[in-house]
């Protein structure tokens, strides 16, 4: 797919990244908690979401904040839905 990378802003090939991954991947889809990332920012580069724990942590925080804004939910509501807080 073609689009803009959420992290670096580059335009070109992008991949969907689930902000709340693992067992909650389907919930990320349901709530629209995804961003598009270029291959370097998603999986290939040393600072990519899947290789750099700090980048992954910030994306999870962003995902939780997005969910709370979209739903009007609290941190406790997020924990009930996703099992933990990233904030």
pLDDT in tens, the chain (87 residues): 999 999 999 999 999 999 999 999 999 999 999 999 999 999 999 999 999 999 999 999 999 999 999 999 999 999 999 999 999
Q: Number of C-alpha atoms within 13 angstroms, CB side, residue 77? A: 10
Model pLDDT, residue 15: 98
Q: Which domain holds residue 64?
A: 2-82
**pLDDT for res 25:** 94
pLDDT score recorded for residue 7: 98
The helix (run of H) or strand (run of E) holding residue 17 is: strand 15-18
Task: Report the domain count for the chain.
Answer: 1
How many residues belong to the chain?
A: 87
Helix 75-82 with 53-71: angle, nearest 10 deg:
110
Q: What is the rounded CA–CA span in Å between residue 67 and residue 34?
A: 11
What confidence score (pLDDT) does residue 83 get? 96
Is 42 inside a domain boundary?
yes
Cβ within 8 Å of residue 31, ≥6 positions away: 66, 67, 70, 71
The answer to the question of residue 87 being in a domain is no
């Amino acid at each position: 797919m073609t689009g803009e990378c959420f992290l670096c802003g580059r335009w070109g090939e992008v991949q969907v990244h689930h902000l709340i991954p693992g067992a909650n991947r389907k919930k990320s889809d349901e709530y629209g908690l995804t961003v598009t990332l270029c291959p370097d920012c998603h999986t290939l580069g040393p600072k990519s979401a899947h290789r750099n724990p700090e980048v992954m942590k910030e994306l999870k925080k962003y995902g939780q904040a997005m969910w709370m804004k979209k739903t009007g939910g609290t941190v406790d509501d997020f924990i009930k839905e996703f099992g933990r807080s990233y904030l």
